[in-house]
Amino acid sequence: MNLMREKNMQHTTQRAQTHELLKSRGIERALFANIATVKWLTGFAPPIQTGPSPFLGGPPLVWYENGHWTLMVLDWQEANAGEFARQENCALVSYTGYTIDQPLTGQVKLRGLFRSVVKNNLSGKIGIEARDAPADIALTLHELGAAELIPVDTWLESFRRIKTPEEIQKLRDNFFLTDIGHAAARQAVQVGATEIDVWNAAHYAIEKAAGQRVPLGNDCVVGYRKDNVGGAPLKYEIRAGDSVIVDLSTILRGYWSDSCATYYATEPTAKQRAMHNTAQRALDMGISLVKPGAVAREIDFQVRELMRKEGYPVYWHHTGHSLGVTSHEDPRIVPYNDMKLEENMVIMLEPGIYFSGETGVRLEDAVLVTRDGAEILTRHDKSMP
C-alpha cells in the first residue's frame, strides 16, 4: 500500500468544480464548515477517534473568494497537515489552540482568524454551509457586512458522487486495509472467543498494516444476539454453530471504506449454508447489474426479489450505498432512488438474511462503476469453511 499521495492532484478537481458552480450562481465568497465538504475540497482530514480536542476552536473552516481558497485549522492540526493542506490555490492558516501562557480560548481565536481572513465590506451573495457553520461565525459574517447569505449545504453532493482518480486510489488503499482486517477476523472467529476478541484481531491487523492508528467502524455481532443485524462488539462468546457478522469500515486520509463477511466458529449448519449461498447469489446478482445507466432502485428491487424468491425474509436495510468522505451517501441503493449509476461512482452492495436471536448472514463488496460494468474493489474471502 502506498500511503503517500500523488503530488499533482491534491483535490484540485474538487475546487475547480466548486469554483465553476459558485461563479455560475453569482457567488463570489463562501464559507464551508461541514467536515465532509472540507475533506473533499482540500484533502485535509483531522483525527477523529476521541472527539473534538479541548484546544479546538471549532470545525476546520474553508473560505472561498473568487477562486482562491483558505483552510483554517488548529495549529496542531497544521503541524500534522503536511502535504495534505499545502496546495495550489489553497492557503493554510491556523490559530493557537494549546498554550500554557494564557487560558484556552481556541473558539475566540478561530473567530479572530476568521475575521482576518474574511476582512471587511462583504458585498454580494455569500454562500454558507449554515447547517454546520457555528452560529458565532455566521454572526461574524453578518457583523462584517454580509448582506445576503445563501445556504449551500447540499450543493456539492452531486459532484461528490463521481470519484476522481485520486479519490479512487485513496479508496483502493483503504479497501486493502479492510481486506486485512477481514483476514484477521476470519482467523479469530473461534469457539470461546468473544466479539471483542474478533474485533481486536481485525483492528490490530489493520493498524499494524497501516503503521498508524486507523478509526474502525461498524459491526461485529454473533448470530444469537437479538439484534443480529449490526452493533459494536460486546462480550458475547462465540459457541459451536454460531455465525458472526463482521462489517468493517476504516477511515484513511479522510475517506471511508466498508465491507462485510460472515464467519463461522465451526462447520456451518445446512440452514446456514443455504442462507450464505443465497446471500452470495444476491450479492453477485447485484454486482452483475452495476453499470452506467443502471437505476439504483431497480438494483435494490432485483436483489430483494431474489431473497424473496429463495424463501427468505427480505432485509429491512438498504441494499447498498456509496461512500467517500462519509460512510453512507448517494447513490443509495434503496427502494425510492431513481438515480442512475455513472462511471467512477463507488457502490457498496450488502444483502443479508437474519433470524433474530438465532443466526444471520451478510456479505458485502465494493464496486467501482466502470465504462461498461463494474470492478470489485474488495478482496476479502467471503467463502464458508
Q: Residue 130's Cα: distance from chain center in Å? A: 22
Q: Which of 2, 4, 8, 100 binds a second copy (CB under 8 A)?
A: 100
Q: Which of 335, 340, 357, 376 binds a second copy (CB under 8 A)?
A: 335
Alpha-carbon distance of 144 to 198, in angstroms, equals 54
Per-position x/- string for 171-210, each x denoting binding to a second copy as judged by CB under 8 A, each - no binding: -----------------------x-xx-xx--xx--xx--
Residue 237 near a second copy by CB under 8 A: no
Residue 52 near a second copy by CB under 8 A: yes
Closest CA to 183 of 170, 169, 201, 207: 201
**E strand or H helix at 199, and its extent?**
helix 195-210
Q: How many of the other CB atoms lie within 10 Å of CB of 192?
A: 10
Q: Which is nearer to a second copy, 268 or 286 (CB)?
A: 286
How far apart are CB 27 and a second copy at their closest, in Å?
Answer: 17
Q: Which is nearer to a second copy, 117 or 274 (CB)?
A: 117
Residue 216 near a second copy by CB under 8 A: yes
Residue 144 near a second copy by CB under 8 A: no
Q: Record the cell numbers describing residue 131, joined without a space.
A: 447547517
How far apart are CB 37 and a second copy at their closest, in Å?
Answer: 12
Q: Which is nearer to a second copy, 67 or 217 (CB)?
A: 217
For cell 471587511, the residue is 120
Size of the site for a second copy (CB under 8 A): 64
Closest CA to 162 of 293, 23, 14, 34: 14
Per-position x/- string for 57-76, each x denoting binding to a second copy as judged by CB under 8 A, each - no binding: xx------------------
- Residue 331: asked if its preceding bond is cis (omega within 30°), the reply is yes
Q: Record the cell numbers describing residue 311, joined without a space.
A: 424463501
Angle formed at CA 215 by CA 326 and CA 169, multiple of 5 degrees: 60
Residue 223 near a second copy by CB under 8 A: no
Strands 243-252, 216-222: pairing kind = antiparallel
26 half-sphere exposure, CB direction, 13 A CA radius: 6
The footprint of a second copy (CB under 8 A) covers: 35, 47-55, 57-58, 100-104, 107, 128, 130-139, 151, 153, 194, 196-197, 199-200, 203-204, 207-208, 211-213, 215-217, 232-235, 249, 251, 316-318, 326-330, 332, 334-336
